[in-house]
Amino acid sequence: MAGVTVKQVTKSFGPINVLEKLDLDIQDGEFVVLVGPSGCGKTTLLRMIAGLEPVSDGNILIGARDVTWAAPKDRDIAMVFQSYALYPHMTAAENMSFGLKLNKLPKKEIETRVAEAARMLKIEHLLSRKPRELSGGQRQRVAMGRAIVRRPVLYLFDEPLSNLDAQLRTSMRTEIKRMHLAEKKTVIYVTHDQIEALTLADRIVAMNRGEIQQIGTPDDLYNRPASIFVASFIGSPGMSFLTGEITPASSAKGQIFINTERGKEALSLPPLWTKGLPVEETPVLVGLRPEALTYDPEGAGFGLDIMVNVIEPCGAEVYVIGEVAGREITARCTPGKVPPLGAPARFLIDPDQIHIFDANSERSLRP
C-alpha cells in the first residue's frame, strides 16, 4: 500500500525558499495532479518524493515508511519525465527492460512484463525500433512502458505530455486514465494544463509560489475555488472578474453591489452566500464563468450590459468577449444566438453561478 505523506517539507536553494512547510496527504491508489504556474515548485516537490533532490527540512513517507533519506532506488517508484530520456542506441524493448535487467530479474519474467506493458500501451509492433524511428507519442508510450514494467507502488509524472501535439495529448491523456483505472496505483502527476488536471485527477493540488492554494476534487476547484488564483487558473476561457462592494446595508439585505455600466447595481445573493457575508464595508471581486452569463435581451432578472468587442466561434459554442465598466468579461453563447459585434448587449447572470472574493485577501467569501 502506498499513500504518500509530505510533512512540513521545506526546500531552499541557497537563500531562496522554494517550498515552505508543505503538507500533503495522498491516499493509496489516488490520482493526484499538481498544477501551478512555472517556477512554483512542482518539479522540485516531485524530485524530492523521488529522492532525486534532498529536502531542506521535513519528512516524506511512502506508505508507512519514512523515506526522507532513502535512496531513489529504494523507494519503489517510477518517474516519467517530460523529456522521455530513452537510450538512443537501444530498441523500445531494450529500453523498457533495461532497469529490470539491472535488477537481475529472470529473463522470462522480464519478457512477460514487457509484453504485458506493450499490450497495454499498444506498442507491440514497435518493440524492435530505436527511439529515432518512433514518433513523439510513440516514444512517450515507451517511456511509460519503462515505468510500468517496474511495477512500482507509486508513479510520478512530470508533464509527460507537454511535447506532444494537441490531438496526441488528448489520446494519451485517455490512455493514462485507462491505465490508472486498470492498475489502481498511486499517481502524482504534474502539469501546466488545467484540462489535463480536470480530466485526470481524483484530487487537484493547486500551487502558487511554493504554497498550496487549494486541494480538492476537480469539481471543488472548478465550482468552489478558494481564491482568485485558483479561480483564474482552472477553466478555459477563464473566469471574468467585475469589481463591486459589500456595505453594512447591502450585507443586511443579503446583497452585493456590482459596478456596471449604469453605476452600482445591487444583486440579491442566493442563501449559500448570505450566511457568511462580511458586515463591514468590503471591496469584492465578483467572478463569473462564461457559462454564468446568458445572452437574453428581453429576459427578466439581474443583467449586465456588455459592450461586445470580439466574437470567437468555437464549434459547439461561441465566446463573446466584451467589457463592463472597464473590465473584460467573457460570456458563452450558443451558435445562432449571438449578439451583434460592436454594440452593447444584455446578458443575464445566474446568481447560483457567481463567485465572490474579498478584493484584498483574494480569498473566496463562500462560508
Ligand X SMILES: Nc1ncnc2c1ncn2[C@@H]1O[C@H](COP(=O)(O)OP(=O)(O)OP(=O)(O)O)[C@@H](O)[C@H]1O
Q: Which residues bind ligand X (CB under 6 A)?
A: 13, 18, 36, 38-44, 192
In one letter, which amino acid is 98? F
Least CB distance to Mg ion at residue 271 (A): 42
Stretch binding Mg ion (CB under 5 A), from 40-48, 134-142, 177-185, 304-312? 40-48
For ligand X, the closer CB: 36 or 225: 36
Instruction: Kindly state whether residue 191 participates in binding Mg ion, applying the rule CB under 5 A.
Output: no
Least CB distance to ligand X at residue 207 (A): 7
- C-alpha distance from residue 58 to each of 28, 33, 66, 258 (Å): 21, 21, 11, 45
For ligand X, the closer CB: 33 or 284: 33
For ligand X, the closer CB: 192 or 346: 192
Stretch binding Mg ion (CB under 5 A), from 42-50, 263-271, 297-305, 312-320? 42-50
Stretch binding Mg ion (CB under 5 A), from 17-25, 36-44, 148-156, 240-248? 36-44
Binding-site partner at residue 41 among Mg ion, ligand X, none, CB < 5 to 8 Å by type: ligand X
Please, which of residues 114-173 interact with Mg ion by CB under 5 A? none
Q: Which residue is nearest to Mg ion (CB)?
A: 43
Least CB distance to ligand X at residue 192 (A): 6
Binding-site partner at residue 186 among ligand X, Mg ion, none, CB < 5 to 8 Å by type: none
For Mg ion, the closer CB: 209 or 366: 209
For ligand X, the closer CB: 39 or 276: 39
Which of 221, 189, 218 is CA-nearest to residue 355?
A: 221
Question: What beta strand segments (E) does the chain contain?
Answer: 4-13, 16-26, 31-35, 57-62, 65-66, 77-80, 154-158, 186-191, 203-208, 211-216, 240-246, 255-260, 263-268, 282-288, 293-295, 303-314, 317-324, 327-333, 344-349, 354-358
Bridge pairing between strands 317-324 and 327-333: antiparallel
For ligand X, the closer CB: 18 or 348: 18
Q: How many residues lie near Mg ion (CB under 5 A)? A: 1
State the residue for C-alpha cell 512500482: 152
Instruction: Kindly state whether residue 44 participates in binding Mg ion, applying the rule CB under 5 A.
Output: no
CA 23/CA 6 separation, integer angstroms = 5
Least CB distance to ligand X at residue 43 (A): 3
User: Which grid cell is 64?
Assistant: 508507512
For ligand X, the closer CB: 18 or 60: 18
Least CB distance to Mg ion at residue 109 (A): 34
Residue 38 contacts residue 209 (beta carbons within 8 Å): no
Instruction: Kindly state whether residue 240 participates in binding Mg ion, applying the rule CB under 5 A.
Output: no
CA 114/CA 96 separation, integer angstroms = 7
Q: What is the DSSP letter of 121?
A: H
Instruction: Kindly state whether residue 43 participates in binding Mg ion, applying the rule CB under 5 A.
Output: yes
Which of 77, 53, 52, 42 is CA-nearest to residue 63?
A: 77
Residue 46 contacts residue 100 (beta carbons within 8 Å): no
- Which residues have C-beta within 8 Å of that of residue 326, sequence separation ≥ 6? none
Least CB distance to ligand X at residue 63 (A): 24
Sheet bearing 240-246, strands edge to edge: 263-268, 255-260, 240-246, 282-288, 354-358
For Mg ion, the closer CB: 43 or 250: 43
Which contiguous run of DSSP H or E holds residue 147?
helix 136-148
Least CB distance to ligand X at residue 158 (A): 7
Least CB distance to ligand X at residue 135 (A): 24
Binding site for Mg ion (CB under 5 A): 43
